[in-house]
Amino acid sequence: MKRERIIGLILLIAAFTLLGACSNTASSQEGEKDVTTLRLGHIQSESHTWHKASVKFAELVEEKTDGKVNVEIYPSSTLGSDRDLIEGTQIGSVDFALVAGVMSNFYKPYSILELPYLFDDQEHMESFLYGEGGEELQRDMLEETGIRGLEFWARAPRELTTNKRVDTIDDLKGIKIRVPNIEASVEGWGAMGANPTPMNFSEVYSSLQTGVIDAQENPASFTTSAKIHEVQDYLVKTDHVYGYVQMIMSDITYEKLSEEEQIAVEEAALEARNYQNELVAEQDKKALQEMEDAGVEIIEVDKEPFREAVLPVHERLADKYGRDLYDSIIEMSSLGGN
């Protein structure tokens, strides 16, 4: 009998020990669940302003949520192309992404924002996108696509780089130029006389190297970040697009966050935008100098003939995707008072 009681006591102690172990495991697992890990993808290298500002965003989110939300960053198309990233946010497999003009393939009014020579300069672009115009676009985009726009980040102007010298618009005739697969870009460069060739950014270097294309157009910092200046002879200061990069977020992810976490993410996105915008102008100047030092000739051109050539494209896409949107942008431009 005594022996049975001893065995029973041993079994009871073992049971409590096992229960305690299970309890610790549950607490540990529950503690791990308290930290939400989200993924942010973009197509640029780690030296680019997009990545630097993404790191700042992740730090701010962690700080503002007391470590409850962790953002992991995947640069250099690790999670796929722009299109892959956008589609990922729609289904929730990607939480955040930094994307540019390709958004116009998902939300058509953005096609107007990609028109060459739409904005006079950076100030004109920012005054529209950082005001009611940009807020309205992001509200409509969320309703139509299920993608939540957090912030528009500034980009340096897009410039033409080429292996064939371009001094006037006539020199563009027949030049095979890589453009993003964006209607405004394809039609715009076609109207200027070039032969536009849509292509993923990741393919540009090798295509220039092998002669598949002659030229490409991007902000100077994009060009140097991807080492494209190594296979180009000229940079032409066309300043044809004062563009943006948009930080987007999966609305599926957004709705899973607490209200406090949602606010933290929005505040972090705004602060990261301001941080990135400060970096852009400086990095663009450095990129232009880097190209010049590497032997790339920088050419200034009269932009007015380029602008006049694309005006019919402006009118066509304005009628197709949003005359009111187009007119509201032009009203804020130097032409608006004329």
Distance of CA 6 to the CA centre of its chain: 69
Question: What is the rounded CA–CA span in Å between residue 317 and residue 338?
Answer: 22
Q: 258: helix, coil or strand?
A: coil
What are 132's two structure tokens? Answer: 């009611």
- What is the per-residue pLDDT for 30? 46
Contact 280, 154 (CB under 8 A): yes
Domain annotation covers residue 46? yes
- In the predicted model, is pLDDT for residue 22 greater than 70? no
Q: Are residues 232 and 249 in the same domain?
A: no
pLDDT digits (tens, 9 = 90+) for 262-294: 999 999 999 999 999 999 989 999 999 999 999
Q: 231: helix, coil or strand?
A: helix
- In the predicted model, is pLDDT for residue 8 greater than 90? no
Q: In Å, what is the CA distance from 101 to each residue of 29, 163, 185, 198, 218? A: 41, 25, 9, 13, 11
Q: Are residues 214 and 127 in the same domain?
A: no
Q: Are residues 83 and 228 in the same domain?
A: no
What are 51's two structure tokens? Answer: 């990545």
Average pLDDT over residues 189-213: 96
Single-letter code of the amino acid located at 14: A
Lowest mean pLDDT among 28-32, 43-47, 143-147: 28-32
Give the number of C-alpha atoms closer than 13 A to the C-alpha of residue 195, restricted to the C-beta side. 7
Domain annotation covers residue 145? yes
pLDDT digits (tens, 9 = 90+) for 76-114: 999 999 999 999 999 999 999 999 989 999 999 999 999
Average pLDDT over residues 213-220: 97
33 pLDDT band, cuts 50/70/90, is low
311 pLDDT band, cuts 50/70/90, is very high
Total number of domains constituting the chain: 2
Contact 198, 81 (CB under 8 A): no
Domain annotation covers residue 5? no
Q: Are residues 49 and 195 in the same domain?
A: no
- CATH number for the domain spanning 72: value is 3.40.190.170
Higher local confidence (pLDDT), 24 or 103: 103
Domain annotation covers residue 233? yes
Single-letter code of the amino acid located at 271: E
Q: Are residues 209 and 258 in the same domain?
A: no
pLDDT digits (tens, 9 = 90+) for 114-133: 999 999 999 999 999 999 99
Q: Are residues 131 and 147 in the same domain?
A: yes
Distance of CA 94 to the CA centre of its chain: 14
Q: Are residues 194 and 65 in the same domain?
A: no
Q: Are residues 98 and 200 in the same domain?
A: no
- In the predicted model, is pLDDT for residue 1 greater than 60? no
pLDDT digits (tens, 9 = 90+) for 140-185: 999 999 999 999 999 999 999 999 999 999 999 999 999 999 999 9
The residue range of the domain holding 324 is 158-241+294-331
How big, in percent rounded to 5, are the helix, strand and coil portions of the chain? 55, 15, 25
Domain annotation covers residue 14? no
pLDDT digits (tens, 9 = 90+) for 234-263: 999 999 999 999 999 999 999 999 999 999
11 pLDDT band, cuts 50/70/90, is very low
Q: Are residues 252 and 274 in the same domain?
A: yes
Q: Are residues 219 and 318 in the same domain?
A: yes
